[in-house]
Structure 1
Amino acid sequence: MQDSLGNPLTSSDPSSLRAVNDFVEGFVSCEARAADVLAAAKDDSPLVQAYCATLHLFAESRDAVPNARPFLERAQAGAARATPRERRYIEAVAAWAEGDITQAIALHHEQAREHPRDLASLKLGQYHCFNIGDCPGMLRLALAALPAAADVPYVHGMLAFGQEQCHLLREAEASARRAIAMVRKEPWAHHALAHVMLTEGRLAEGLDFMRSVSDTWTGLNSFMVTHNWWHMALFLIDLGRDAEALAVYDGQVWGVVKAYSQDQIGAVSLLARLELAGIDVGERWQDLAGYLAGRLDDHVLPFLDLQYLYGLARAGRPEAGQLLHNIEAFAAGAPASTHAAWERVCVPAARGLLAHARGDAAGTLEGLGLALPRLVEIGGSHAQRDLFEQVYLDALIASGTASTLASAQGLLQQQVNAQPESLRLRRRADQVYAALGLPRLTFNASPRRR
């Protein structure tokens, strides 16, 4: 038998084929049906077991590895009768469970070269590259698959995001539009195009585009649907449509799967951006913090821990200090492949974020000043990491000294130049120019020429 992408399978059981296709098709299209493979948890197919383990690891919690372990052990026990492709995928998931992300990525690259239509492996490899800031690695994976899988729209979406994260914006837009032309419901391509438009300051166009395709965001996993609405909220914030941005937070970003890591950090980062734009978020931090309080011992990804900590601190929860202590302790003994990201980036960033939440501008500048030059090492996209830069800028302004205001002016003016439609940036720039005794900023709100 073969899966729906033409990859040979060891099993000849039709139920195994259904389970495999549920996972593969759902995973590459960001649809919730990928989780349907769990219904076949008793299937003796090594690949089905490995896919079940994958889903458990995606929980990104302290329980993820223990929950995945029984499936991974069954996959490894049956690996001798699996194909080389299946065995390599099992090995990659095992490396992930052991925290050896370097080895996992190497195996996914091998898979892309030898089995370029194994798009589940490709997407998982991109996930790992993304989480360590290896944007060229994301792009290499997609390019390796492209000649053999150009008929699959989701390959072009994966290619688009790799290109965008490598700042190849024209190429990224072309790839995203090709994916969408092949199938309108391609949320990952929508997401990649939103990144391009945000980066280029095409804010009104980006908002209109995302609204025009939002009717297709049905049946998706909670991360994909909430994250695309998150992007829409960013456009609304920059365009000064504060009430609409708050409504998107309440209706589409927070509350889909409140227990899921990605939904939680999306909510944290959006609430933080709303506040940094001068928007009153009321008691929303309190509801969110109730879920973050259970994350004190996770330490799955530094990018996640930082946002858990900031959300707890903004809610005034004492667990924020405990999480900082736990991060410092974990970083000292973190796995070799991620040790530097934890110790040299996450720890100072965590100290800076906690300081900001407590109104300590000097502490914010000290901690984030150390972390920002290496922030890419903890993963996240350009748009996601921008939160930390906004916090740093806010601390520069709050410090109010001649030197920090001068630094803030330089940063802000460059951002205004890149995003002339942004009312959010105009407000901040007006504040800084007034504090510096300079004439109010002349703001050009005309669309940028492309």
Structure 2
Amino acid sequence: MLVERDVFGQAVTCGSAATVGGWNAALADIFDFRGDPGATLADLTTADGDFMMGLVVTTAGAVLGGDDPRGVGVREGLLEVARRSAGATLRERRHVEALVDLVRGNFTEAAVKWDAVVADHPHDIVATRIAHDIYLHVGDDDRRLVSSREAFAAWQPGEPGYGWTAGQLAFALEEAGHFAEAERHGRMALEVDPVDVWALHALAHVFEMKERHDEAVEHLRSTRAAWEERDHLALHLLWHLLIRLVAAREFDECLAEFDSQIGAVDRAFGLTDLTSLMWRLELAGCDVGDRWATIAKKWRNHDQLHTTGFLDLHAALAFAACPEDPGAPTFWEGLDVCHRDDNSENDQTFEAVVRPMAEAISDYREGHHAEASHAILGLVGLISRVGGSIAQRDLFVRTGQDASRRAGSEVQLMEEESR
């Protein structure tokens, strides 16, 4: 058993120095949103029985990516990383402690533990990234901003984590409403890597929130060739471009892009982008044809349903729009019974936010606009708990507002008919 230093200066327990080279390459791919770092880490884990950090990253990534924490893959990963951690460093064992909380659905507790790792090991880029992603997962803008500021402060220009943590901080600043500072840090990250897609993403959010339409479209069109190559975030950046085109009522391009993308999308978070696009198009008055049937078929019996509220609410949009889909009854029944046995943070979010919001979405689609408006707008203060960004969750606010408008129109019509 060896302890080698990775490119960020962290001690990595392994059986071969070559493992750390593969670990460095996988981390670069993760931060660049490209390649297949999960496969790289899986291969390293299989080849090196002393290496455990790969399992930390792949297991955390599986949970945050929508895989069922109760599933065989996640459970086996957790058991194996716990076994390997017996010979690992204290820092690595603390990663496992945080991972256990994550798998149990206590997301914030896990993130706080990863933040504590960073406090003692400021260049632990893995702990930095997972904490950031968890705070996005639970919509905790305040904690993410504190965490991201502290992480960035630990790096100097020219050091390997400087650009990545600048881009991460840019997004955290934007979500907290510090738009000028967010733009400055996003551009700092792009000076290090002009194709830093998380920094490009942060700037897209700044332009979206400030309604800087022309800049948003130019920004995303001019960099498209670059971010399409960093393909793990490409669909989401395309979504950013398309919601600007929805705002400009350029519906034909939006529908054409949907048609070109939907066939290849299988992961649930990718489906959320296309589901959101269709719903926004309809709110804007666009006839989307029979495309809801295509989306509902993709969501049907998806193995990432009922794992996280953000995913289930987007599936609810699809099945509310296409109630005749064979998967709709199974989805609604599954949503009704899931996350009722335990008392984790995730369970509480499903109970307080996800189920009532999904029911309100169904009411809206069935034409019960007054009930939907009351429920949706009453949940606006809690909707951040399902995670995602302000721009993504704005969909539910818009739906509540449209329900309110429709309810008002219906009341007015009834009054006119009664005269």
Secondary structure of 1:192's aligned partner: helix
Q: Does 1:269 align with 2:276?
A: yes
Q: Deviations over 1:408-447 (max 9, x none)?
A: xxxxxxxxxxxxxxxxxxxxxxxxxxx9xxxxxxxxxxxx
Question: 3-state DSSP class of the match of 2:67?
Answer: coil
TM-score normalised by structure 1 residue count: 0.84
Post-superposition shift, 1:364?
A: 1.4
- The one-character-per-residue Cα deviations of 1:61-107 (angstroms, maximum 9, x if unpaired) are 33774212222222211212212221122222222112221321121
Q: Distance in 2 between matches of 1:327 and 1:77?
A: 34
Distance 1:63 1:94, change over 3 A: closer
- The residue number in structure 1 matching 2:204 is 194
Match of 1:121 among 127, 135, 160: 127
1:179 and 2:189 correspond? yes
Provide closer, same or farther for how the CA distance between residues 211 and 300 of structure 1 changes in structure 2, counting only shifts above 3 A: same
Distance 1:297 1:123, change over 3 A: closer
- 2:352 corresponds in structure 1 to 344
2:332 to 321, 324, 338: 324
- Shift of the 114–123 alpha-carbon distance from structure 1 to 2, 3 Å rule, reads same
* Distance in 2, Cα, partners of 1:85 & 1:46: 12
Q: Please report how far the alpha carbon of residue 14 of structure 1 lies from its aligned counterpart in structure 2 after TM superposition.
A: 3.1
Superposition deviation, residue 218 in structure 1: 4.0
Match of residue 37, structure 1, among 37, 41, 59: 41
Tell me the distance in 2 between the aligned counterparts of 1:139 and 1:117. 17
Gaps of 5+ in 2: none
Task: Say yes or no: does 1:5 pair with 2:8.
Answer: yes
Deviation, structure 1 residue 321: 4.7
Question: Closer, same or farther in 2 for the Cα pair 1:334/1:194, shift >3 Å?
Answer: farther
Which segment is superposed worse, 284-293 or 379-388? 284-293
1:246 pairs with 2:250? no
CA shift, 1:59, in A, is: 4.1
**Residues 108 and 135 in structure 2, CA contact (< 8 A), matched pair in contact too:** no
State the number of aligned residues.
403
Which residue among 162, 167, 171 is the counterpart of 1:161? 171
Supply the distance in 2 between the matched residues of 1:189 and 1:230 (Cα, whole angstroms).
16
How big is each residue's C-alpha offset from its partner over 1:319-369, in whole Å with a ceiling of 9 and x where there is no partner? 435433432332543533234322222122111111122222123113213
Tell me how far apart the structure 2 counterparts of residues 112 and 351 of structure 1 sit (CA, whole Å).
40
Alpha-carbon distance in structure 1 between the residues aligned to 2:365 and 2:407: 14
Q: Read off the aligned partner of 1:250 and give its amino acid letter.
A: D
Partner of 1:278: helix, strand, or coil? coil
Q: For residues 158-185 of structure 1, what are the alpha-carbon distances to aligned partners after superposition, in whole Å with 9 as ceiling and x for unaligned?
A: 0011111111111111111111111101
Q: In structure 2, what residue type is equivalent to 1:162?
A: A
Q: Distance in 2 between matches of 1:61 and 1:313?
A: 23
**Higher mean Cα deviation, 231-240 or 328-337?**
328-337
Q: What does residue 386 of structure 1 align with?
A: 394
Shift in alpha-carbon separation, 1:401–1:334, aligned structure 2, 3 A: farther
Which of 15, 39, 47 aligns to 2:18? It is 15
| Counterpart Cα distance in 2 of 1:395 and 1:318 | 27
Q: Deviations over 1:147-205 (max 9, x none)?
A: 22243211111001111111111111111111111110111111111111111110111
The 2-side partners of 1:137 and 1:5 are apart by: 24
Distance 1:297 1:60, change over 3 A: closer
**Which stretches in structure 1 are left out of the alignment for 5+ residues?**
406-434, 436-450
Decide which of 265, 286, 300 is 1:293's aligned counterpart: 300
Distance of 1:311 and 1:334 partners within structure 2? 28
Mapping of 1:411-426 within 5 angstroms? none
Which one of the candidate residues 315, 321, 344 is aligned to 1:314?
Answer: 321
Q: Distance in 2 between matches of 1:68 and 1:330?
A: 18
Taking the aligned partners of 1:56 and 1:305, their CA distance within structure 2 comes to 17
Query: How many Å apart are 1:25 and its aligned residue?
Result: 1.6
CA RMSD of aligned residues (A): 2.3
- Mapping of residues 211-222 of structure 1, within 5 Å: 211-222=221-232
Q: In the aligned structure 2, how far is the partner of 1:377 from the partner of 1:289?
A: 25
Secondary structure, aligned partner of 1:10: strand
Structure 1 residues 368-409: Cα deviation after superposition (integer angstroms, max 9, x where no partner): 13311211122111110111111112212222349899xxxx
1:88–1:141 Cα change, 3 Å:
same
Aligned identity (percent) is 25
Moved more, 209-218 or 225-234: 209-218
2:97 and 2:263 mapped to 1: Cα distance? 35
| CA shift in 2, pair 1:371/1:322, >3 Å | farther
Change in CA separation of 1:386 and 1:26 when aligned onto 2, cut-off 3 Å: same
The one-letter amino acid paired with 2:319 is L
What residue in structure 2 maps to residue 419 of structure 1?
A: none
- Is the contact made by 1:28 and 1:120 (CA closer than 8 Å) also made in structure 2? no
Return the offset for 1:294. 1.1
Quote how far apart the aligned CAs of 1:141 are: 1.6
- State how far apart, in whole Å, the 1-side matches of 2:174 and 2:107 are: 23
Structure 2 CA distance for partners of 1:58 and 1:101, relative to 1, 3 Å: closer
C-alpha spacing 1:228/1:326, structure 2 compared with 1 (3 Å): same
The aligned amino acid for 2:239 is W
Change (3 A) 1:295 1:18: same
Structure 1 position 52 matched with structure 2 position 63: no
Q: What code does the residue aligned with 1:41 have?
A: T
1:148 aligns with 2:151: no
Relative distance call for 1:296 and 1:215 in structure 2 (3 A) is: closer
Deviates more, 1:238-247 or 1:393-402: 393-402
**Counterpart in 1 of 2:118?**
112
CA contact 1:320–1:354 (8 Å) conserved in 2: no
AA matched with 1:308: A
Q: Partners in 2 of 1:141 and 1:231 — Cα distance?
A: 25
d(CA) in 2 for partners of 1:172, 1:33: 29
